[in-house]
Copies of this chain bind each other. A is one copy, B any other.
Amino acid sequence: MESMMIWMPIAMAVLGLIYMWIKQSWVMKQDAGDGKMKEISDYIYEGALAFLSAEYKLLAIFVVIVSVALAAVSFIVPTTHILIVVAFIFGAVFSAFAGNIGMKIATKTNVRTTQAAKTSLPNALKVSFGGGTVMGLGVAGLAVLGLTAFFIFFFWYFMGSEWTSTMDMTIVLETLAGFSLGAESIALFARVGGGIYTKAADVGADLVGKVEAGIPEDDPRNPATIADNVGDNVGDVAGMGADLFGSYVATVLAAMVLGNYVIKDMGGSIADKFGGIGPILLPMAIAGAGIIISIIGTLLVKIKDNSAKESQVMGALNKGNWTSIILVALSCYGLVTWMLPETMKMEFFGEGLQEISSLRVFGATIVGLIVGAVISSVTEYYTGLGKKPILKIVQQSSTGAGTNIIAGLATGMISTFPSVLLFAGAIWASYAFAGFYGVALAASAMMATTAMQLAIDAFGPISDNAGGIAEMSEQEPIVRERTDILDSVGNTTAATGKGFAIASAALTSLALFAAYVTFTGIDGINIFKAPVLAMLFVGGMVPVVFSALAMNAVGKAAMEMVQEVRRQFRDIAGIMEGTGKPEYDKCVAISTKASLKEMMLPGLLTIGFPLIIAFAPLAFGMDKLAIAEMLGGYMAGVTVSGVLWAIFQNNAGGAWDNAKKSFEAGVEIDGEMTYKGSEAHKAAVTGDTVGDPFKDTSGPSMNILIKLTCLIGLVIAPILGGHTIDENDTTEIVEIEVVSNYEGISGGEDLNNKTETTVEMLTNDVNGIVTANVEIRKTVNGKTTVTTETFTGTEDEVRDQLKDVEGIKIKIKDKN
């Protein structure tokens, strides 16, 4: 059985997809309601489909360009294989397909949820959560299927399905990185594009509809209302799906890369029952188990009581969620002890090789699960209704929009305190348990329940849409009340889901970062080197500028929408009376066009910066390892700053949103009950306007920004002289020579005064270029100074140069 373990994740993924298909058929069989409801639902479906089609067309061009570039690179750089292009394309297609599945089922489930809400709340939950489950399993199933299938294929193609060497496996995994890069690139555009779309439509609908025309939310007379509902689907559903698809793939990939290095640390090969690749298979196995566990989790989400309130619905979700987390912990224990050698050797930076028991790897996975759970609570504290920070923002709303804004900003900023301490503690702990392999497995364990998390996340916007359809199709108030309960719970899960997404992105980036350092073969990233420090600054700046671009994009797109809605109110006769029909499609078209246009610049920034940092100095002939270290500094800057700005923006946005919502039920300010429509409420609405792009556009994009940056680094790594010091390299060591030139006391070695030179000559099989690393250890009065020099060129050139190294006699001896 053990030797078949490589097929297990695929089997689980297929099982998950089959279950998804069953669930999907069940959802589709549900009653889709009357004609009016169907009509509205169709509008939303078509709008969302129109956006996705337009987006995918644009992305297809992008994929072609990148594919050509990657192909060119694979011809120039011998360690990069052309198959990376195939992996990249499949990654992009799978990611788009996953987003598409989610969006389709969400737009089909919304109207069925409305219809189910006519009968009872338990039914409404069953349908809406069923839709979420389809989406969750679709994303997770495709991710595991794609990644594992490509791994098996490349493992066969490059290694004949048998362990040969770390170097060969590195080529397998580097080629596999193309799949992840494809997925994450699509995720970036889906998140940013979707985020701009949804907020532009939202702001447009609110500013003109609610504020200027004075009609309620989701009123069918509002021309932007369909676009607004479409936005929920393309932003919160398709965007989120692509985001987590990317995270999932990147996390598992990073853990596999680091697993490969565990094997290297253990001497280059291990004898286990899994063909010697247990540490590489483990993260995939955890992901596979996670799919089945998520199915079990979703089965537990149900309520019986038709008069249930938010807390009971939340309780049902929590039951499913916690059960799946506990099951993941158990399965991690089983898989770790089964698949890993009982004790392993692992390289700890600066501490050399250490022997650790496999149980410590299990410890690291527990760290990941704890971080996932705690970050959700932290997020809920800072953004939850009735919690202290929200009440404070509510109080500050009484003195106007200015103080409301300050309070919201401050809340988002303060929330970085526990979050960052948690991440810092997690990095430390998981590393202490099992090195960077531990960090990567912590992330893998946390992401194992992705399907469950997505089900919980996606049910929110579905319920939101269902409420909108109920309003637009003028249903009984009880229907809206029921969907409102689900929607309210969905808002909380949306906030905690964002916390989960940041935590996973932070850990994944670290794992990718570690994989990068190992791939390039640099000693580490020393920020005491001025160019590295400079790049740390530049990296820190990119998330800030990215956020600003995304926010400005929302502003621009919203302005266009506002003009269009105003025009329709002015030009279409009888629109306010309900006799004239708004041109919903024009608003949908504007949002689509504007968001696609505006997502270009932030995307370019993300992809362009690391490429410039890598290739501009390369063009000037700078040392490759120095460039690799600079790029590492850039990646660290993006990660640290990106995590901070993600937490800040998501939580500030969530807090403003719920501060505004607090007024709906009424809040006590200075001893007086205050409601919607009060001056304080207006101030809170202003805060929410600011918070919208924070929490739905720029904030969630940070995750992808940092992951994609690290992935680009990983794909560039082989170009930056990766592997040149790897033992299994195509580079061959010609000779190592130690020449000692003892000075001082004649007749004996004076160990306190001597000069010792080591020359390590490396030649590259492919183009015959020789690199000589010269290390001069000069000891004067017992104090040793080490200087290093590197010479590159043809073998003759290097030998010539070596002769000129001052003050040292060099014996040149031939290889054999």
Contacts and interface: CB of A to CB of B under 8 A. Distances in A.
A343 interface: no
Interface string A500-530: 0000000000100010010000011111111
Chain A interface, DSSP helix/strand/loop, else mixed:
helix
Copies of this chain, whole number: 2
Nearest to A414: B548
A611 interface: no
B686 A555 contact: no
A544 B403 contact: no
A689 interface: yes
Query: Which residue of A414, A562, A687 has the most chain B CB atoms within 10 A of its CB atom?
Result: A414
- Counting contact residues on chain A (CB < 8 A from B), the size range is 35 or more
A555 B406 contact: yes
Contacts of A737: 751
Contact of A529 (B350, B529, B537): B350
A403 B636 CA distance: 32
Given A396-B555, A526-B524, A640 B536 contact: yes
Query: Which residue of A207, A416, A528 has the most chain B CB atoms within 10 A of its CB atom?
Result: A528
B350 A423 contact: no
A29 interface: no
Contacts of A789: 352
A269 interface: no
A562 B403 CA distance: 13
Contacts of A531: 428, 431
A402 interface: yes
Interface stretch (A66-74, A81-89, A124-132, A777-785): A777-785
A413 B545 contact: yes
A399 interface: yes
Given A352-B787, A686-B402, A788-B352, A510 B533 contact: yes
Contact of A400 (B527, B686, B760): B686
A537 B439 contact: no
Nearest to A649: B409
A353 interface: yes
Interface of A: 207, 349-350, 352-353, 396, 399-403, 405-407, 409-411, 413-414, 416-417, 420-421, 423-425, 427-428, 431-432, 436, 439, 510, 514, 517, 523-531, 533-538, 540-541, 544-545, 547-549, 551-552, 554-555, 559, 562, 626, 632-633, 636-637, 640-641, 643-644, 648, 685-690, 693, 727, 733, 735-738, 751-752, 760, 779, 782-784, 787-789
Given A207-B400, A413-B544, A417-B541, 5 more contacts: A403-B555, A406-B555, A428-B530, A436-B530, A523-B526
